[in-house]
Structure 1
Amino acid sequence: MEEIKKDHKNLPEIDPLTNDKFVPEHEFDGIRELANNPPWWLTFILLGSILFAYIYIARYHFFNDGDLQVAEYEQQMLDAIPEEVEEAATTGEGGITIETVKVDYTIPLDDKADLAKGAKVFATNCAVCHLAEGQGLVGPNLTDEYWIHGGSFEDIMHIINTGVIEKGMIAWKGQLSSKQIHQVASYITTLVGTNPPNPKAPEGEKYVAPAE
């Protein structure tokens, strides 16, 4: 009888609410641990995490199929460099080396992609005063040969950068990047001689390019 009583004492207790067994000697501050299995969904998440870890290690560290966090960070830093910096980047043991190419802002761009971007900047920011085809409204006509503040490319760049506050022309420096200003100024040079409908009367002096 004594042996039966001892064995009965060693049997795990049952929780009357869940009918689960208590873990012997696992009690703290009145809280007892039940000897039940975790829910299936938690087990599924655990196994899935382990499987994902193995796939991740194999893909990124053994097969090198994809950029690690450091490479992604370096690429994001490159993407954050202002557009006006023409860059050629190489990655070595020491990280990223940026080689910059100096841009000549005294010469208009002739690349179709740059002119298309310039046209977009013009439509967004300039057309409200100069109209969509540059024929002029509040601002002067940009399609004729007459210019109020000089018609050289450097003059156009200067006016866009610094503005003419007394005439309502704001300074775009700081609102547009140097490359965007270069692009829109280059696009404006393509408007000269296009003869849009209902152009504004000429203003200023006729600009004659100096002989080369």
Structure 2
Amino acid sequence: MRKWLKDNRGFLLFLLCFGFVRTAVADWNPIPTGSMKPTILEGDVVFVNRLAFDAKVPLTDWSVARLGDPQRGDVVTFSSPKDGTRLIKRIVGLPGDVVQMRDEVLFVNGERAGYTDLAPATEILTGDVEVTAVRATEHLAGSRRSVQFLPPVGALRDFGPLKVPADHYFMLGDNRDNSEDSRFIGTVPRRLLIGRAHHILLSADITGHWLPRWERTGSAIR
């Protein structure tokens, strides 16, 4: 065993450094669902900066230093407070904000979101059911993002008002009618935030024979 360790110490050191970087500094996440359409698609692989908010002990939620504050509009990965599943959503409510939804229109602190650039899009649901979606640009409190709305399929379109607790964040998926977010799992404590999603590293069309989507590779997440 000692000889094996000596012969392979370079490779073992590489694995140790690689593991440290991925669990404490930077990570990448394959995206299996469409909850963040049209911003992030199924088959995208996103780069996640784990040092955007906190420096943590690897493989734990223990923060050793606060490095930055999450901002409204950030796309972040986090562990679900409901069951620990890793999710990726957008922050729409900061600590102390009052968040509400009326007939799918978002309000933060009483300010109503505006919606522009409305355009139809085709969306394929489970079971290859094709529906017509509506995509729009949502403007609210100095931030904006592309969002998608589906025909009524039992989604939660009215919510709150809810005041976001201290050190917690309210998350929504950009695909508003197909996202398990804070409407269902509750607000997310800061300790469960993993990092900020910055860029799309790679992208493949999982419904089209895994063909590369070169136009998405390297693009920034906004």
Instruction: Give the structure with the larger strand fraction.
Output: 2
Flag whether TM exceeds 0.5 (same fold): no
Larger radius of gyration: 1
TM-score by length of 1: 0.20
Higher relative contact order (CA 8 A, sep 6+): 2
